[in-house]
Amino acid sequence: MSFELIKPNSNVNFIGNRYKAFVVSGLLILISIVSMIYHKGLNLGVDFKGGLLLQFRLQENPGAEALRATFGEANFAISSLQNFGDTGNEYLVNLSDSPVAEGQSLSQAAVALLEKTYGEDKVEIRREEMVGPKVGQDLRQKALYAIYYSILIIIIYISGRFEKKWGTSAIFVAILLGIIYVVSLFGVGVGTLIIVALIVTLITCYALKFSFALGGIIALMHDVIITAGVFSLLNKEITLSFVAAILTIIGYSLNDSIIVFDRIRENTAKTRKADLPTLINKSINETLSRTILTSGTTVMALLSLYFLGGPVNRDFALALLIGVSVGTLSSIFLAAPILLLWEKKRPAKI
């Protein structure tokens, strides 16, 4: 007898529980936003903020507070300091500024301080990374643009693929780029520009009745905000690996949503008498096995990477674990049910 995790004729009432899912998602987003406001933004790493990232191991473990006091007394500006690795006496410190001697770099000053305090033969430098503030600012801007334009391309693809509105999509892109250009003339920051662009994107999708695109974009924003919110709650550093994880999450979540959207379109062509709630619920149930099995195997691989991949890969794996888990739920409870906000009954053609 074969074992089936999900029965092929399952009929879970996802649509009937959509409002409960909306409330849970709203609470998670609210908690994420409140956390980011409380922490005055995300904890940017050396990649985006600039400064020195120094990983070192001491023969004896003085403790994080003692190390903070050591750097503080020498007037080093500490952005973050945390245990790194499994030995307990290895640390990762992010220094943004320090009064260094002439001809001495920030890295040399930090290493000299550690060797003077704990002994030259008792300090082992494992890694040094120095990023200038201008480079960090450029990387931050490019990371934001990469995330936004990936979402924009997704909107174009979904609206053309599922709603057959390639021409309207082109007009939409032209309008959006025009608005972004006008707003940029006022000298606003990149973060503000991206927020304005996303708001305009949602309003435009609503006005042009891009129902599939709107469902997909809201699900993607939901996944990104919650992933960033968890990192904010845990006070994790935002690095280039986190941006890579976010872009991976966007692609993964979109893939899940497209599977459901495609099944809705197929069932619409085959079933002309069923109403839209029944049709969407049937489509979600028919793709449920594929969604859970794919996400389950991905999560198992990420768990192995998180626990066995070493400290360097841990934050990257954590971001993917959060994003894949939340993305799976959003494709089931959020992306497809949003279609019901547009139609009270099944339209003649989706």
DSSP state of 16: G
Give yes or no: residues 114 and 218 share one domain: no
Give yes or no: residues 141 and 287 share one domain: yes
The answer as to whether 254 is a domain residue is: yes
Give yes or no: residues 264 and 307 share one domain: yes
Structural domain that includes position 88: 51-131
Domain boundary among 67, 102, 131: 131
Domain boundary among 104, 131, 158: 131
Give yes or no: residues 127 and 140 share one domain: no
CA distance 246 to 252: 10
Domain boundary among 131, 166, 181: 131
Give yes or no: residues 145 and 217 share one domain: yes
Top-confidence residue, 346 or 229: 229
Give yes or no: residues 35 and 86 share one domain: no
Give yes or no: residues 141 and 251 share one domain: yes
Averaged confidence pLDDT in the chain: 82
Query: Alpha helices of the chain — where are they, by DSSP H?
Result: 18-38, 46-49, 64-73, 106-118, 133-163, 166-184, 190-207, 211-233, 240-270, 276-286, 288-308, 311-330
- Reference 228, options 92, 96, 34; nearest CA is 34
pLDDT value of position 80: 77
Give yes or no: residues 123 and 144 share one domain: no
Give yes or no: residues 297 and 316 share one domain: yes
The strand pairing partners of 128, in sequence order, are: 54
The answer as to whether 37 is a domain residue is: yes
CB of 218 closer than 8 Å to CB of 337: no
Domain tally, the chain: 2
DSSP state of 208: T
Give yes or no: residues 252 and 225 share one domain: yes
The answer as to whether 175 is a domain residue is: no
C-alpha angle 198/208/335, rounded to 5°?
A: 60
The answer as to whether 118 is a domain residue is: yes
- What tens digit of pLDDT does each residue of 4-40 get? 566 667 788 888 888 898 999 999 999 999 999 998 8
The answer to whether residue 253 scores a pLDDT higher than 60 is: yes
Give yes or no: residues 78 and 111 share one domain: yes
The answer as to whether 283 is a domain residue is: yes
> Cα Rg for the chain, rounded, in angstroms?
24
The answer as to whether 79 is a domain residue is: yes
Q: What's the Cα-to-Cα distance from 208 to each of 54, 153, 197, 222, 228, rounded to whole Å?
A: 51, 17, 16, 21, 30
- What tens digit of pLDDT does each residue of 173-220 get? 787 778 777 877 777 776 777 777 778 878 877 777 778 888 888 888
The answer as to whether 113 is a domain residue is: yes
Which CATH number do you get for residue 220?
Answer: 1.20.1640.10
Give yes or no: residues 265 and 335 share one domain: yes
Max distance between CA atoms of the chain, in angstroms, equals 80
The model carries a pTM of: 0.82
**What percentage of the chain exceeds 90 in pLDDT?**
15
The answer as to whether 167 is a domain residue is: no
- Give the CA count within 13 Å in the CB-facing half-sphere of 249: 34
